[in-house]
Structure formats: structure tokens, C-alpha cells
Amino acid sequence: GIKRPLFGGALRVRLPPSYRDVSDVREVPDHQEVWQDFLSSPSPSPSVVGANGASGSYDGRREEGGGGGGGSSDGGGRGRVLVVEILTYQDGVEDDDAGRFFFDDLADANGAAASPLGRKFSASGTATVGSGEE
């Protein structure tokens, strides 16, 4: 994989070369990093999911005026997407419960009737925050 800087280099993540920075074609909020795997996209012209859920085709360049890569808004972007988001620390939420707390909060904010979470995983020790060390 290729080391990619997140949030101006405060974090780094190793991603396969097929992942592209969605902010190259769509506006992404400052508190998010969004990367999409264009090899896993089912369409011939890879789709991109924007921060607001809009989609379009990726043509390798950013369009002027904050637009996207064109294409339709037919719910494309079915490829793998990595979203890294900075969230506000919540007093009273144990570290082990933070994933569930924020997932439920997101589901509630989007009006989901239910928020089933299929599996729980731990990523402790995999992120380097604010360090230039490898």
C-alpha cells in the first residue's frame, strides 16, 4: 500500500494504490477524510460519493466551481469507501463503547428506524497521531 496523509499529515494511513482522495472531485468537510477504491466500483467510469451523498463519475481532475466529476446522481459509488472523521470527545462514554455511541448517533441524525451494527472491531495501536515517526 501507499502511505497517505490525513488531516494535513497529522495522521497517516496505508491504502492500496487504487484508492483516490474524494476531495479531488467533491467537497469534503474539514473534519472528514474520504477515500474511495476505484477498482471495486461496478461501473466502467468509477463513481464517487460526496460528503452530502451526491455521486458522480471520477475523471481524475477537480472541476472548477466546486462541482463534481459529472455523471449521474443515481446512487452510484457502490465501491469501497474509507471515511475518517474527527468526532467530539463525549464524557461518560467508555472507549470500548465509543464506536457504538457514534454509529447510533449518526443513524439517529439520519432518521434511521434501526441501527444494526454487524461486528465490533478494535483498531488500537494502528494510528499514529501527531508524530513524524514511522
Q: Low-confidence residues of the chain, pLDDT below 70?
A: 40-78, 117-134
CB 47 within 8 A of CB 77: yes
Q: How far apart are CA 100 and CA 26, in angstroms?
A: 28
CA torsion sign, 66 to 67 to 73 to 75?
negative
Q: What is the DSSP letter of 62?
A: P
What pLDDT shows up at residue 33? Answer: 96
Residue from 128, 15, 32 nearest 50 by CA: 32
Q: How far apart are CA 19 and CA 80, in angstroms?
A: 9
Strands (E) in 16-89, as ranges, are: 19-21, 32-37, 47-49, 55-57, 81-85
What pLDDT shows up at residue 95? Answer: 87
What pLDDT shows up at residue 26? Answer: 92
What pLDDT shows up at residue 36? Answer: 94
Where in the chain are the domains? Answer: 2-89
What pLDDT shows up at residue 118? Answer: 62
The pTM for the full model equals 0.55
Q: How far apart are CA 20 and CA 82, in angstroms?
A: 10
Cell 457502490 found at: 78
Residues pairing with 11 in the sheet: 6
